Amino acid sequence: MHKLEIDPWFTERARRARGDRPFAYERLESARTALVVVDMQNYFCADGMPSCAPVARAVAPNINRLAECVRATGGHVIWVQTASPEDPEEWANRREATRPESWESRRKLLAPDGAGYPIFETCDVRPEDRIAVKYRYSAFIPYPSQLDDMLKENGIDTLLITGVATSTCCESTARDASMWGYRTIMVSDGNADQTDALHNHTLGKFMVTFGDVQSTDELIEKLIVEAAVPAAE
Residue 229, phi then psi, degrees to nearest 5: -80, 120
**Any domain includes 203:** yes
**Any domain includes 22:** no
**Any domain includes 197:** yes
How far is 30 from 227, CA to CA, in rounded Å? Answer: 7
Per the structure, the complete domain to which residue 12 belongs is given by 8-17+28-227
CA 211 to chain centre: 13
Burial status of residue 103 (CB atoms within 10 A of its CB: 0-12, 13-18, 19 or more): middle
Q: What is the CATH number of the domain that holds 123?
A: 3.40.50.850
How far is 105 from 68, CA to CA, in rounded Å? Answer: 34
**Any domain includes 200:** yes
**Any domain includes 172:** yes
**Any domain includes 34:** yes
pLDDT at 85: 87
* Number of domains comprising the chain: 1
What is the chain's pLDDT, residue by residue, as a tens digit (233 residues)?
999 999 999 999 999 999 999 999 999 999 999 999 999 999 999 999 999 999 999 999 999 999 999 999 999 999 999 999 888 788 899 999 999 999 999 999 999 999 999 999 999 999 999 999 999 999 999 888 999 999 999 999 999 999 999 999 999 999 999 999 999 999 999 999 999 999 999 999 999 999 999 999 999 999 999 888 665 44
pLDDT at 38: 98
- Are the C-beta atoms of 56 and 187 separated by less than 8 Å? no
**Any domain includes 232:** no
- Are the C-beta atoms of 28 and 223 separated by less than 8 Å? yes
How far is 85 from 111, CA to CA, in rounded Å? Answer: 8
Q: Which residues contact 213 (CB under 8 A, 6 or more apart)?
A: 6, 185, 186, 187, 188, 203, 204, 206, 207
- Are the C-beta atoms of 79 and 123 separated by less than 8 Å? yes
**Any domain includes 122:** yes
Angstrom CA distances, 21 to 4, 24, 221, stand at: 20, 7, 17
pLDDT at 233: 44
